[in-house]
């Protein structure tokens, strides 16, 4: 699933984050991506997911409904956002300031990005719509 170096503390967190994204996606859509790679920046975590589309979504894309599939994926991300943010905060011990998400159809990739609040600070009050919903 995840191509991370688990001997480093950062690698252990990356593997946990990759599992969080794959598992949450499977829980909400019925199928998770087959590959996930988590990368860390100073205050940014980015997860690249591959092979994300369900069989039904692939059929819709084949029949010319790629835009609708991307819109549906964005809706799923809004629904999954609280679960993902809570998981990222638990794994990293830091507050999530922003969550950005997008999907690409061909090739089949998705990117999830979490911007972390500075250490020792808390992001906006939980439940604030602009924090919980990924940007469009």
Give the three-state DSSP class for 14: helix
pLDDT of residue 124: 65
pLDDT of residue 78: 93
Residue-level pLDDT, tens digit, the chain, 136 residues: 333 334 455 789 999 999 999 999 999 989 999 999 999 988 999 999 999 999 999 999 999 999 999 999 999 899 999 999 999 999 999 999 999 999 999 999 999 999 999 988 887 644 444 444 555 4
pLDDT of residue 50: 97
Cα–Cα dist 52/85, whole Å: 20
- Helices 66-92 and 9-29 cross at an angle (nearest 10°) of 140
CATH 3.30.980 fits 9-132, yes or no: yes
Residue extents of the structural domains in the chain: 9-132
Q: For residue 95, give every residue at least 6 positions away whose Cβ sits within 8 Å of its Cβ, in sequence order, or none.
A: 89, 116, 117, 121, 122, 123
pLDDT of residue 107: 95
| Residue 88: CA count within 13 A, CB half-sphere | 28
pLDDT of residue 3: 39
Cα–Cα dist 122/82, whole Å: 16
| Residue 8: CA count within 13 A, CB half-sphere | 8
- What is the dihedral angle through the alpha carbons of 73, 78, 83, 84, rounded to the nearest 10 degrees? 70
Structure tokens at 75: 């809706």
């Amino acid at each position: 699933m995840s191509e991370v170096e688990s001997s480093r503390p950062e690698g252990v967190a990356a593997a946990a984050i990759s599992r969080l994204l794959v598992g949450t996606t499977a829980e909400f859509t019925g199928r998770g991506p087959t590959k996930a790679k988590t990368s860390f920046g100073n205050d940014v975590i980015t997860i690249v997911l591959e092979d994300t589309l369900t069989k039904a979504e692939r059929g819709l894309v084949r029949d010319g409904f790629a835009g609708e599939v991307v819109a549906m994926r964005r809706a799923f991300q809004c629904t999954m956002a609280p679960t993902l943010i809570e998981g990222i905060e638990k794994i990293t011990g830091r507050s999530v300031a922003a969550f950005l998400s997008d999907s690409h159809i061909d090739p089949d990739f998705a990117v999830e990005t979490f911007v972390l609040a500075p250490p020792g600070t808390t992001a906006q009050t939980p439940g604030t719509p602009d924090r919980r919903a990924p940007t469009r």
